[in-house]
Amino acid sequence: MAVVKEPEVVTPEAEQGDDEVVSRGRLVWRRFLRRKAAVVGLGVLLFLFVMAFLGPHLDKWHYLDQDLDNALQGPSWNHWFGTTQLGQDVFARTMRGLQKSLVIGLLTAFFATGTASIVGSCAGYFGGWVERILMWVVDLLLVLPSFLIIAILSPRFRGKTWLLFVVLLAAFSWMITARIVRGLTLSLREREFIQAARYMGVPSRTIIFRHLLPNMSSFLIIDATLNVGGAILAESGLSYFGFGVQPPDVSLGTLIQEGTPSAFTYPWLFLFAGLLLIVAVLAVNVMGDGLRDALDPNSSAVKARTKTK
């Protein structure tokens, strides 16, 4: 008969030793370093950021420059990733596209998680009509077809700053997280330290930002990390269909769209942007999983319950 083995709970005292006092941040970092895949994901992501912002300075070509004498040529010493039909350097355009996709992913995740934390915590803490109104807005946005709305609105922003596209992406990316934050707030607001702060007359905004949200920091950090990958995919998909980043600027989605018709005849037009998109999203997701396990050691212990001896 199989015997279920209970997971061994690792306490902070066991990790830091008898004589060493280690902060929670260092404990989280230690747990994170034990996840080799997560460390690799973090390293790959950092490398992509460095390459995206440093790469254009290593190449003599600008992403808008044209070398008409070497149009549609494969990778060479002069053009590391080859050239397009118009003689544009694929390496320069790919680095520009990677840079734009990463920045859009980061900003979208930041604004989405920030909005979700504020809306969810306010709804859960205040309750009453505040909760009803905020949750009504959440429910309304959840049933709206976000892709269709962004597709309709994006042509109106052509020729304007791409930050408006970030706002559109973030506007439809925070609702599920807001509901989770609301549930966590409903639980935390009954705790003794929150009740004590209320009885002492501490302002509500101070309780929310200094007591409630810091106690959800682990969840919010994980949510923001995983939102980066989702935002990069969303941006690439919308840009692929012409609803995202607009020419003459480029992103990984626009580069993939431009190279798709020639994917088999001139693969360098499609291959590099497609591979970087896959690697970037995979690295973010793997790092997010490792960060989740590091911030919440019990999450990895759940799997141990299914193992038998």
CB count within 10 Å of CB 34 equals: 12
Find tokens 């989770």 and name the residue.
Answer: 180
Query: At 297, is the pLDDT very low, low, confident or very high (cuts 50, 70, 90)?
Result: low
Query: At 10, is the pLDDT very low, low, confident or very high (cuts 50, 70, 90)?
Result: very low
Query: Which amino acid type is present at position 257?
Result: Q
* pLDDT tens by residue, 167-207: 889 999 899 999 999 999 999 888 888 889 888 888 989 99
Residues 6+ apart with CB under 8 A from 274: 252, 256, 259
Residues 6+ apart with CB under 8 A from 241: 151, 257
Phi, psi values for residue 276, rounded to 5°: -65, -35
Specify whether the backbone of 191 is left (phi greater than 0), alpha (psi in -120 to 50) or beta: beta
CB count within 10 Å of CB 129 equals: 8
Query: Which amino acid type is present at position 12?
Result: P
pLDDT in the model for residue 61 = 87
Residues 6+ apart with CB under 8 A from 283: 40, 41, 42, 44, 45, 48
Cα–Cα distances in angstroms (integers) from residue 209 to residues 110, 137, 277, 283, in the given order? 16, 22, 35, 31
User: Rounded to two decimals, what is the model's pTM?
Assistant: 0.82
CB distance 198 to 208 below 8 Å: no
Query: At 147, is the pLDDT very low, low, confident or very high (cuts 50, 70, 90)?
Result: confident
* pLDDT tens by residue, 124-139: 999 889 999 999 999 9
CATH architecture classification, 47-59+79-298:
Orthogonal Bundle (1.10)
Determine the length of the chain: 309
* pLDDT tens by residue, 48-100: 999 999 988 888 888 888 888 888 888 888 888 988 888 899 999 999 999 99
Helix 146-153 × helix 163-171 angle, to 10°: 160
What CA–CA distance (Å, rounded) separates 44 from 75?
23
Q: Which of 97, 100, 81, 101 is nearest to 89 (CA)?
A: 81
Helices (H), the chain: 12-16, 24-34, 36-58, 90-126, 128-143, 146-153, 163-171, 175-188, 192-199, 204-207, 217-240, 252-259, 268-295, 297-304
pLDDT in the model for residue 273 = 92
- Which pair of tokens denotes residue 248? 């003459």
